[in-house]
Amino acid sequence: MSTPSLLILPGDGIGPEVMAEVRKIISWYGEKRDLNFDVSEDLVGGIAYDTHGTPLTDATMAKAQEVDAVLLGAVGGPKYDALDFNDKPERGLLRLRKEMDLFSNLRPAQCFDALADFSSLKREVVAGLDIMIIRELTSGIYFGEPRGIFKEGNERVGINTQRYTESEIDRVARSAFELARRRSNKVCSMEKANVMESGVLWREVVQKVHDDDYPDVELSHMYADAGAMQLCRWPKQFDVIVTDNLFGDLLSDAAAMLTGSLGMLPSASLGQPMANGRPKALYEPVHGSAPDIAGQGKANPIACILSFAMALRYSFDQGAEADRLEQAVETVLADGYRTADLLNVEGAAFSTTSEMGDAIAAALDASL
């Protein structure tokens, strides 16, 4: 069997710092579990623009298409705000998602018990929370045409178009139902069918996919604004939520804060299966590049490390090792290790980015 391949794109800001801690974990698996990866590294985002004049070169894009999985750190920063729209660092990430056809974005929101008091919600509301938001990633209002800023009469008008085909809705719905079967067998689909025709089509297609092929999975529908309210009221009523690109962007960030910090949350973006049966995949932390703390040892590497855990589970068929890594993170948090974003927990002591990575590796050692 060939060694699985992994392309690392650290990106900008704190991206290289958190990715250095992931490399520690990758090395640990090679040394202690004989689980090796063919790792390569390249540039994306602002650093790619600084080096090559583009946020993603064609050569890097070609590499991403060939490997078993891509692991990305973060892109962007105020340094690049004045760039032309097509040169901004975020366009590199969007190109990866679009050309790899990564239509299913998995964003877990899990509240570790050690951090239940860190959430802005009451402990009983978030303790034990473990939900998954599946966001359609390659269509909808972020990609629909026409789009742009145009002159109408004496004023300008900004236009974005919400557009979905039946097949685009069908495939992300199937990914939600398949994942639900591996979890609690429950899906809630969210849209705005009360005011948007695209929402009407979304609801109809999701219901048909359910009725035809997944009648064993419990399906409910909810308007996205009501879903946002319910996420804040009682999030544990949900297991898998499936929704479109715009609402998924909003709802997943809202769910992220239920756990207390964006620095804790990973994500996976999955596409169609390749020849080896694995889906094309890109894994990345939900947090941004945080240039204000870059180079200071304050960044939380857990989201990026947990993104690698998702890669173990969804790209490399190593579910037990993903569980091991997630348990190591939970152990370290229970032992009181805290990066700067988690310091207002009573009794917490500051750990640098590197110290947090070392602690997780030590917890992995203890798991053997």
Q: Is 365 a catalytic residue?
A: no
In the chain the beta strands, taken as DSSP E runs, fall at: 5-11, 38-41, 69-74, 104-110, 130-136, 144-152, 155-161, 186-191, 218-223, 240-243, 266-273, 279-285, 337-338, 349-350
Tokens encoding 233? 């009221």
d(C-alpha 228, C-alpha 238), whole Å: 12
Helices in 182-244 by DSSP H: which ranges?
A: 197-213, 224-233
Is residue 273 reached through a cis peptide bond, with omega within 30 degrees of 0 on the bond before it?
no
Q: Do residues 252 and 135 lie in contact, with contact meaning Cβ atoms separated by under 8 Å?
A: yes
Catalytic residue, chosen from 117, 225, 323, 358, is 225
Catalytic residue, chosen from 29, 88, 192, 314, is 192
Which residue type, as a one-letter code, is found at position 72?
L
Catalytic residue, chosen from 50, 101, 130, 253, is 253
Catalytic residue, chosen from 68, 249, 298, 337, is 249
Q: Is 225 a catalytic residue?
A: yes
- The distance of Cα 143 from the centroid of its chain, to the nearest Å, equals 19
What are the backbone dihedrals phi and psi of residue 265, each rounded to the nearest 5 degrees, phi first? -110, 125
Catalytic residue, chosen from 142, 164, 314, 337, is 142
Q: Is 192 a catalytic residue?
A: yes
Query: Which residues are catalytic, by number?
Result: 142, 192, 225, 249, 253
